[in-house]
Amino acid sequence: MTEYIKAASAMGKSNRYYTFVNCWHENEVESEAMWKLYTASQPDGIAIQTTYGALKEAINDSEVMIGRVTYANYETAFLPGDSYFWYKRKSFEHEHEVRIMIEATDEQRKEFADIYKEKYFALTLPIDLEVLIQNVYVSPYASDWVKDVVEEELKSCHLEKSVMSSKMNDDALFFPSRKQLKELLWQIKEDTKRTLTVK
């Protein structure tokens, strides 16, 4: 029985060579953890903002699947063989990953077989950048010149898209304490009295 399990596992692992994945991060706000994770070796990074609908429309291919990743405890969870590419360990839950996934056809598998003996191979898909890109954000750790370069590149591709610097380093809006607010209001009141008296 152990040999059958090993054989089944080997078959499942071989599918990794013929399943192509593109990863996105889903969140309502910027994530410092993700900026640090993906720009650790190159701080001059950018993030493209899109939506599920725009992503689907931009690719426009019925063979392409788009969905959220489920995070599971691999020691206790049973991962179904036909959908384990939609699972990751709970240790990666901070990624909030959305995946674009497509499986190679039988013809492509034969074509890629020899290539994989030497190196990994990427599958390219046509995509409508005008539809895909909603906004572009520049990393909070990027150099000052990055925003200008990205704007120029977008213009050269005839893409009129907003390029925004990360808001993570912006100052927060601080409010005075109740005591300070009371003193401020009193000062405004006194200043108003003096102004009225002068007139």
Q: For the chain, which residues make up each domain, given as ranges?
A: 2-198
**Calpha distance 80→194 (Å, rounded):** 78
User: Do residues 94 and 53 touch, judged by C-beta distance below 8 A?
Assistant: no
Task: Say what the pLDDT of residue 106 is.
Answer: 79
Distance between alpha carbon 115 and the CA centroid of its chain, in Å?
A: 29
Task: Say what the pLDDT of residue 84 is.
Answer: 80
**Calpha distance 54→107 (Å, rounded):** 30
Q: Is 137 exposed, middle or buried (0-12, 13-18, 19+ CB in 10 A)?
A: buried
Task: Say what the pLDDT of residue 31 is.
Answer: 92
Cβ atoms < 10 Å from Cβ of 69? 20
Copy the structure tokens of residue 159: 């893409």
Per-residue tens of pLDDT for the chain, all 199 residues: 577 667 766 666 777 777 889 999 999 989 999 999 999 899 999 999 999 999 999 999 999 999 999 999 988 877 776 678 899 999 999 999 999 999 888 787 777 766 666 666 778 889 999 999 999 999 999 999 999 999 999 999 999 999 999 988 887 777 778 888 888 888 887 777 766 554 5
Q: With H, G, I as helix, E, B as strand and everything else as coil, classify residue 103.
A: strand
Task: Say what the pLDDT of residue 167 is.
Answer: 87
Copy the structure tokens of residue 169: 């380093």
Task: Say what the pLDDT of residue 151 is.
Answer: 97
